Amino acid sequence: MDPTELGADVQFRTLIEGVKDYAIFMLDTEGRVTTWNAGAQQINGYSAEEVIGTHFSRFYPPEALARNWPAVELAEARRQGRFEDDGWRVRKDGTRFWANVIITAIRDARGELRGFSKITRDLTERKRQEESLRQSEERFRMLVEGVKDYAIFMLDPEGRVTTWNAGAQQIKGYSAEEVIGTHFSRFYPPEALARNWPETVLASARRHGRFEDEGWRVRKDGSKFWASVVVTAIRGSDGELRGFSKITRDLTERKRLEQIESNARQMEEFVAMLAHELRNPLASISNATAALRPEGEVSPEVAWAAGVMERQVGQLVRLVDDLLDVSRITRGKIALECMRVDLADIVTRAVEASRAWIDAREQVLEVRLPAEPIFVEGDLARLTQVVTNLLHNAAKFTPLRGSIWLTLEADGARATLRVRDNGVGISPTLLPQVFDLFTQGDRSLDRAEGGLGIGLTIVRRLIELHGGTARAHSDGPGRGSEFIVELPRPAHPVAPPTRRAPAERPVDRLCVLVVDDNEDSAESMAMLLRRLGHEAHAAFDGASAIEMATRLRPDLVLLDIGMPGMTGHEVARALRSTPGLTETSLFAMTGYGQESDRRLTQEAGFDEHLVKPVSVEVLKRHVADIAARARARGAKEV
């Protein structure tokens, strides 16, 4: 035998015999133990004298023996060349441990079976702790000749490769002839070599006994892969360093998935921040527009300009909301608040929300509702959003003075909503993708209102969350479109709720403090409140807000969250602990509108969470509620 091969063989045996984390031993063709290493004695509890010559089935629990599992394992290894299994095994003292087992068929040059190699590792602790299982599985599994999932090889004390297994060739691309005798630094990228990382790895393993690392490595073809690496110092009985064992696993796919998840998380955070930054100027414009809304007789030009501003601000708000919604929906972050709702009521709400947009195009909307209520289990706000999006889509792709038809009907099991128009229609090629994210139709100059292509995606995702379906139909370009939404109905009919006509309530003059570091936003909201007949003051930072609230004792504080120095949450907690302000209503008025933001404002002591820009109707409703509660308290005191 060549002396080089003999030396490599001795080194390899030294590696096997010195490993204590793995039981590595040989079986003959019948499954009797023929070799036994220190790791086998430590894991299984038997000495070599006790176990050599006995059948390896002694390590299996009764239920595995009852199904003849040891024989199955050998048969599979004999047929396929390799068998891997996780399962319970039994130690000498009768205790059980969870083992990862790899059995490899050993054949001579003629292909004749000479026996089996068996590698066992105790993974009991991993079984108990699944999270540490994943991390440990990535770092600790020793593979020897015939195992292809790991690169396992030996280095001499200087870092030159002395052995090379099939897994090393598969992962790194080099054959044994190409790599043995060369320095292992050839597997590292230039940036790692520039900082002498291979030398650092060996020095740390030499000093501490082992070294673990994750990082980029280079294959023979120059491509990079993300590797998990364990380097262990191998010493003889005299303590002299004989070399190193090096185990490498390709974790590129995991790294790729982690990067995708990180990118998605960053994008969600970016969209949320973008929405916040857009909502601040939108709030100022919306407030100023509402404050300048013409009263009485004005020129047609002024009325037209005010209408344009209101409609365009509304359109911008819709775009911002759609961006946030599609981000949350695609990541599964939408939580429905389901209750029994009347679809006719939802249609009425959606029509009211869309009326200004449709009227501006002088379009005719015909709504057909059944005489009886149609109840479904659903989220009132989200279903209203669905119908509004469909009406908005119909209006956008229908020409001036065109027609839109909305029909609601039901049978015993399902409710069906149809929105039809006589607009531009949908081409046969686009129709199958019309609900896909960012899908657009014709973007020619005469269709400049293409939007972002996310409104219909939101429709389909929300309807699917409700257990329903959404589909589209069109006979082609220029022949209009129809969108059909179907929702399941409850198994048992529900009596319609008793409705009381809202009582007319007088408008009380309230004292309101508006707090926002964006001065335009604060001043425009204060101006709007004064136009509505209330006393309004503006503060631009947390300290001023606390001082003014203590002095003014307002009925309502509209408080921004994202302020420098002292955040809105900190101001809210301070106000809640200030004597004399226990009856003050505290509303968050912010550009942050995700569920996590709402939870934080609730925990800080806010009564309501309003997302900028706040509409005049919403503001009037909340102010009226506060005034009504104040009157009720006054009546009790009298």
pLDDT in tens, 123-164: 888 787 755 545 444 443 343 454 567 888 899 999 999 988
**pTM, to two decimals:** 0.41
- Where are the chain's structural domains? 20-128, 151-250, 334-488, 511-637
CATH of domain 151-250: 3.30.450.20
The span from the CA of 187 to the CA of 167, in Å, is: 15
246-260, 315-329, 417-431, 501-515, range with greatest mean pLDDT = 417-431
For the segment 211-235, the average pLDDT, to the nearest whole number, is 92
Q: What is the pLDDT of residue 346?
A: 92
The span from the CA of 39 to the CA of 45, in Å, is: 10
Classify residue 534 by burial, with Cβ atoms within 10 Å: 0-12, 13-18, 19+. Answer: buried
The span from the CA of 490 to the CA of 486, in Å, is: 13
Q: What is the pLDDT of residue 15?
A: 61
Classify residue 614 by burial, with Cβ atoms within 10 Å: 0-12, 13-18, 19+. Answer: buried
Which of 103-107, 175-179, 350-354, 368-372 is predicted with the least confidence, judged by mean pLDDT? 350-354
CB 559 within 8 A of CB 537: no
**Measured between alpha carbons, how far is residue 379 from residues 342, 376, 385 in Å?**
11, 9, 10
The span from the CA of 157 to the CA of 334, in Å, is: 57
Q: What is the pLDDT of residues 309-332, one digit of tens each?
A: 666 666 666 666 666 666 666 666
CATH of domain 334-488: 3.30.565.10
Q: DSSP letter at 362?
A: T
* Between 497 and 530, residue with greater pLDDT: 530
CB 157 within 8 A of CB 243: yes
- How much helix, strand and coil, in percent to the nearest 5, is found in the chain? 45, 25, 35
Superfamily of domain 511-637, CATH level 4:
Response regulator (3.40.50.2300)
The whole-chain average pLDDT of the chain stands at 82
116-120, 131-135, 235-239, 461-465, range with greatest mean pLDDT = 116-120
Reading the block at residue 484, the tokens are 């059909």
Grouping H, G, I as helix, E, B as strand and the rest as coil, residue 27 is strand
The DSSP bridge partners found for residue 96 are 90
Grouping H, G, I as helix, E, B as strand and the rest as coil, residue 322 is helix
φ, ψ of residue 17 to 5 degrees: the values are -70, -30
Q: Do domains 20-128 and 334-488 have the same CATH topology?
A: no
For the segment 579-583, the average pLDDT, to the nearest whole number, is 85
Nearest Cα residue to 394 out of 357, 437, 435, 344: 357
The span from the CA of 113 to the CA of 146, in Å, is: 14
The span from the CA of 118 to the CA of 106, in Å, is: 10
The DSSP bridge partners found for residue 245 are 154, 232
CATH of domain 20-128: 3.30.450.20
Please report which residue ranges of 361-494 form alpha helices under DSSP H. 380-396, 455-465
